[in-house]
Amino acid sequence: MDWFRDINWFAIHAKRFRERMAASCVEALGIEVFLPMVKVECLGHVVIKRSSEALFPGYLFARFSPAISLDSVQSARCVLQVVKSATWPIPVDDQIILEIQNRVETDGLIRLQRREFRPGDRVSIQEGAFAGLMGRVEAELDDRKRVAILVEALWNARVVIERQCVELEAH
């Protein structure tokens, strides 16, 4: 059980929307913390609001020795638990953390590559007046912020929807 005494990265399950507070509290214990963040855009009533959120909602990473710090990490404010298999914490491979860290840009955020929609892609509408309906992409519009969809429940009526309100369906 050398991994129990060695310093490794571990995934920490935090209270949802409290990842920053959990990271701050674990860091206050003198433990290295990594909370990968992504830039998000949400539709407000009038404008698009930009903010950042955790890449893995409800999770962060911390590098520590379970033999020394497990109890204090699990007791930190906003931490629910260290991710475990039965009773033992599961180390996260250093290479995985390094690959995520290498994607962090100078502003501290990770940019996710947005997949282009192709005609015929099956999508579900996540927000707005048509939320919950399914359709097929007719075209992605020139501004790259909107997509034309043929909505199945409306006899293939063509609607134009903000791109971030549409999610590609799994095949």
Q: Report how many domains make up the chain.
A: 2
Per-residue DSSP letter, 104: B
Q: What is the pLDDT of residue 47?
A: 54
Whether pTM > 0.75 for this model: the answer is no
Task: Decide if 86 is inside a domain.
Answer: yes
Per-residue DSSP letter, 169: P
**Biggest CA pair distance of the chain:** 62
Task: Decide if 115 is inside a domain.
Answer: no
Is there a single domain that holds both residue 100 and residue 149?
Answer: no
Is there a single domain that holds both residue 105 and residue 135?
Answer: no
Is there a single domain that holds both residue 72 and residue 39?
Answer: yes
Task: Decide if 117 is inside a domain.
Answer: no
Contact 64, 136 (CB under 8 A): no
Residue after which a domain boundary falls, among 110, 130, 159: 110
When the pLDDT of each residue in the chain is averaged and rounded to a whole number, the result is 87
Tokens of 76: 């930190």
pLDDT digits (tens, 9 = 90+) for 24-66: 999 999 999 999 998 765 555 555 556 788 989 999 999 999 9
Domain of 135, CATH number, reads 2.30.30.30
Task: Decide if 116 is inside a domain.
Answer: no
Is there a single domain that holds both residue 127 and residue 148?
Answer: yes
pLDDT digits (tens, 9 = 90+) for 65-103: 999 999 999 999 999 999 998 889 999 999 999 999 999
Is there a single domain that holds both residue 31 and residue 78?
Answer: yes
Residues 6+ apart with CB under 8 A from 48: 41, 42
Residues 6+ apart with CB under 8 A from 34: 9, 60, 61, 62, 63, 97, 100, 101
Q: What is the pLDDT of residue 46?
A: 55
